[in-house]
Amino acid sequence: GAMRHLPYFCRGEVVKGFGRGSKELGIPTANFSEQVVESFPSDISTGIYYGWACVGNGDVHKMVLSIGWNPFYKNIKKSVETHIIHTFKEDFYGEILSIVITGYIRPEKNFDSLDALISAIQEDIEEAKRQLDLPEHLKLKEDNFFHLPEGKAVNNH
């Protein structure tokens, strides 16, 4: 469920999330629209992944991504949220976010405290940074998908 679909290429508009306060925690997550989420393989595992991300035709940055259950839809639909490991000057709602998911870190977990949640995410970010420097992941940063407006990238190629 987690690895079989990787690398997974995806592009879509950044929409308003449901205000779980990710930004207040210092970890904003750019949410994809319901339509984009529906286009994901239905058997892809929920959990924390990593890969590369690019806003509009900007630079390609490392990212961590969560595929989780969407509380807005009573947890019957998934949500896909990307935290880009980069400091942006401004929000980018409405822009096109392009991502390639290259690896899986862990399943979803419940945490006893906010501090425990934040430190788990910090560890996920460190793990993502390390993994993405390995040649097999690094090579996807240069994929044509990020450089062609109508990227013709195909999954599992």
Just list the catalytic residues: 81
The answer to whether residue 93 forms part of the interface with ligand ADP (CB under 6 A) is yes
Phi, psi of 85 (to 5 degrees): -85, 75
> Of residues 12, 17, 51, 103, which one binds Mg ion by CB under 5 A?
17
Report H helices in the chain.
Answer: 34-38, 114-132, 135-138
User: CA separation (Å) from 113 to 109, 116, 118, 119, 134?
Assistant: 12, 5, 9, 10, 33
Q: State in angstroms the smallest separation of the CB of 71 from ligand ADP.
A: 11
**Least spacing, CB of residue 80 vs Mg ion, in Å:** 10
Dihedral sign, CA of 45, 121, 73, 112?
positive
Residue 72 interacts with, from Mg ion, ligand ADP, none (CB under 5-8 Å by kind): none
What character string, x for contact with Mg ion (CB under 5 A) and - otherwise, covers 75-104? ------x-----------------------
Give the integer Cα–Cα distance in Å for 110 and 90. Answer: 31
- Report if residue 83 touches ligand ADP, rule: CB under 6 A: yes
* Contact present, 66 and 120 (Cβ < 8 Å): no
Q: Does 92 bind ligand ADP (CB under 6 A)?
A: yes
Q: What does the binding site for Mg ion look like in residue numbers (CB under 5 A)? A: 17, 22, 29, 31, 81
Summarize as ranges the residues that interact with ligand ADP (CB under 6 A). 14, 16-19, 22-23, 28-31, 83-84, 86, 88, 91-93
